Structure 1
Amino acid sequence: MKLGVFTVLFSDKSFEDMLSYVSSKGIEAIELGTGGYPGDAHCKVDELLNDDTKLQSFKQKISDHGLIISALSCHSNPLHPQKQIAEPADELFLKTMHLASKLGVPVVNTFSGCPGDHENALYPNWPVAAWPNDFQEVLKWQWEEKLIPYWKEKNDLAQSLNVKIGLELHGGFSVHTPATLLRLREACGHMIGANLDPSHMWWQGIDPIEAIKILGRENAIHHFHAKDTIFDQQNMNRNGLTDMTDYSNMRDRAWYFRSVGFGHDQKTWADIISTLRLFGYDYVVSVEHEDGLMSIEEGFTKAVENLKPIIVKDSNTQMWWT
Structure 2
Amino acid sequence: MKIGVVANVLQDKPLTEALRIFRDLGIEQIEPGCGGYAGKAHIDPAKLLSSPAELENLKHMLQDTGIGISALSCHGNPVHPDKVKAKSYHEDMRNTVLLAEKLGIDTITCFSGCPGDCEQSKNPNWVTCAWPDDYLEILRYQWEEVLIPYWKKFVSFAREHGVNKIALELHPGFCAYNVDTLLRLREAVGPEIGTNFDPSHLLWQGMDPVMAIRALAGTIFHVHAKDVVIDRYNTARNGVLDTKHYSDEAHRSWLFRTVGYGNDAKYWKDIFSELRKVGYDGTVSIEHEDSIINRMEGLQHAVDMVRSCAIFADRSGMWWA
Q: TM-score range by the shorter chain?
A: over 0.9
Give me the TM-score of the superposition, normalised by structure 2.
0.98
- Residues 230-269 of structure 1: pairs in structure 2 closer than 5 A: 230-269=229-268
2:280 aligns with 281
Q: Is the 8 A contact 1:117 1:124 kept in 2?
A: yes
Corresponding letter in the other structure for 2:34 = T
- Bigger mean CA offset, 47-56 vs 300-309: 47-56
CA distance, structure 2, for counterparts of residue 320 and residue 102 of structure 1: 42
Between the two proteins, the alignment pairs up a number of residues equal to 320
1:172 aligns with 173
Structure 2's unaligned 5+ residue stretches are none
CA distance, structure 1, for counterparts of residue 262 and residue 76 of structure 2: 27
Q: Is the 8 A contact 2:170 2:178 kept in 1?
A: yes
2:105 is paired with a residue whose SS is: coil
CA distance, structure 2, for counterparts of residue 67 and residue 124 of structure 1: 37
1:299 is paired with a residue whose SS is: helix
Q: CA RMSD in A?
A: 0.9
CA distance, structure 2, for counterparts of residue 78 and residue 169 of structure 1: 15
1:108 is paired with a residue whose SS is: strand
Q: Is the 8 A contact 1:70 1:106 kept in 2?
A: no
CA distance, structure 1, for counterparts of residue 26 and residue 175 of structure 2: 36
Corresponding letter in the other structure for 2:213 = I
CA distance, structure 2, for counterparts of residue 37 and residue 159 of structure 1: 24
**Residue 321 of structure 1: how far off its partner (Å):** 2.5
1:22 aligns with 22
1:124 aligns with 124
- Residues 199-210 of structure 1: pairs in structure 2 closer than 5 A: 199-210=200-211
CA distance, structure 2, for counterparts of residue 317 and residue 160 of structure 1: 38
CA distance, structure 1, for counterparts of residue 185 and residue 316 of structure 2: 33
2:182 aligns with 181
Q: Is the 8 A contact 1:110 1:168 kept in 2?
A: yes
CA distance, structure 1, for counterparts of residue 58 and residue 267 of structure 2: 37
Q: Is the 8 A contact 1:35 1:74 kept in 2?
A: yes
2:250 is paired with a residue whose SS is: helix
**Residue 318 of structure 1: how far off its partner (Å):** 3.1
**Residue 206 of structure 1: how far off its partner (Å):** 0.7
**Residue 21 of structure 1: how far off its partner (Å):** 0.3
1:191 aligns with 192
CA distance, structure 2, for counterparts of residue 175 and residue 146 of structure 1: 13
- Bigger mean CA offset, 232-241 vs 170-179: 232-241
CA distance, structure 2, for counterparts of residue 256 and residue 18 of structure 1: 26
Give me the TM-score of the superposition, normalised by structure 1.
0.98
**Residue 46 of structure 1: how far off its partner (Å):** 1.4
1:313 aligns with 312
Corresponding letter in the other structure for 1:182 = L
How far does the alpha carbon of each residue in 1:73-119 deviate from its partner, in whole angstroms, 9 at most, with x for none?
Answer: 11111111011111100011001011011101221111111000100
Q: Is the 8 A contact 1:148 1:184 kept in 2?
A: yes
Q: Is the 8 A contact 2:77 2:112 kept in 1?
A: yes
Q: Is the 8 A contact 1:155 1:190 kept in 2?
A: no
**Residue 268 of structure 1: how far off its partner (Å):** 0.6
How far does the alpha carbon of each residue in 1:117-150 deviate from its partner, in whole angstroms, 9 at most, with x for none?
Answer: 1000111111110111111111011100001000
Q: Is the 8 A contact 2:35 2:93 kept in 1?
A: no
Q: Is the 8 A contact 1:198 1:208 kept in 2?
A: yes
1:94 aligns with 94
2:137 aligns with 137
**Residue 64 of structure 1: how far off its partner (Å):** 1.3
**Residue 178 of structure 1: how far off its partner (Å):** 1.1
CA distance, structure 2, for counterparts of residue 91 and residue 174 of structure 1: 20
**Residue 25 of structure 1: how far off its partner (Å):** 0.4
**Residue 320 of structure 1: how far off its partner (Å):** 2.5
1:309 is paired with a residue whose SS is: helix
1:104 aligns with 104
**Residue 317 of structure 1: how far off its partner (Å):** 5.1
Q: Is the 8 A contact 2:227 2:259 kept in 1?
A: yes
Structure 1's unaligned 5+ residue stretches are none
CA distance, structure 2, for counterparts of residue 301 and residue 13 of structure 1: 17
1:155 aligns with 155
Corresponding letter in the other structure for 1:189 = G
**Residue 279 of structure 1: how far off its partner (Å):** 0.3
2:243 is paired with a residue whose SS is: coil
Q: Is the 8 A contact 2:71 2:109 kept in 1?
A: yes
1:223 is paired with a residue whose SS is: strand
CA distance, structure 1, for counterparts of residue 172 and residue 137 of structure 2: 20
1:298 aligns with 297
**Residue 315 of structure 1: how far off its partner (Å):** 2.2
